[in-house]
Amino acid sequence: MLWIHGGGFSTGAGSTIFFDGEELARLGAVVITINYRLGPFGFLAHPALSAESPEGVSGNAGLLDQVAALAWARRNAAAFGGNPECITAFGESAGAASIARLLVSPKAEGLFHRAILQSGHARGRNRWLRQDTPGFRSAESVG
């Protein structure tokens, strides 16, 4: 089971004691908690960043971190006693919204097989991705 934390795409950590996975591990589950880039480091859309991207888009670094974590979990599940053919992604709030997006992403295809979404959905607003304006404002404010 791979946990993706919430926090509005701007705060949070997989190491938060509240999400330590101890109870699930006691039941025999292999639990992985991850971190991913947050705020402008993970979700800032800007034309200059899009120009550098092989896909021609920006604002997806946090989701790409999650895809990388899922790929790592799949490659290494057996070494920890898990089944690489039975990976469950689960998360709350922004973590659940991320999983909803990953469910339809070709980049995440085959990396997980089940999903548990708690208090999140794919239609949630992410101010960093709505338009380039926040990216311009952030870039201007830091010079």
Q: Whole-model pTM?
A: 0.86
- What is the average pLDDT score of the chain? 89
Q: Name the packing angle between helices 94-102 and 61-76 (round to 10°).
A: 70
pLDDT per residue as tens digits for the range 34-93: 999 999 999 988 888 889 988 888 889 999 999 999 999 999 999 999 999 999 999 999
Task: Give the other-Cβ count within 10 Å of 55's Cβ.
Answer: 9
Rounded to an integer, the average pLDDT of 7-21 is: 91
Domains and CATH numbers, the chain: 2-142 (3.40.50.1820)
Q: Give the whole-angstrom CA distance, residue 101 versus residue 94.
A: 10
pLDDT confidence of 138, banded at 50, 70, 90?
Answer: low
Sheet holding 114-118, edge to edge: 32-33, 2-4, 88-92, 114-118
Residues forming beta bridges with residue 2, ordered by sequence position = 32, 89
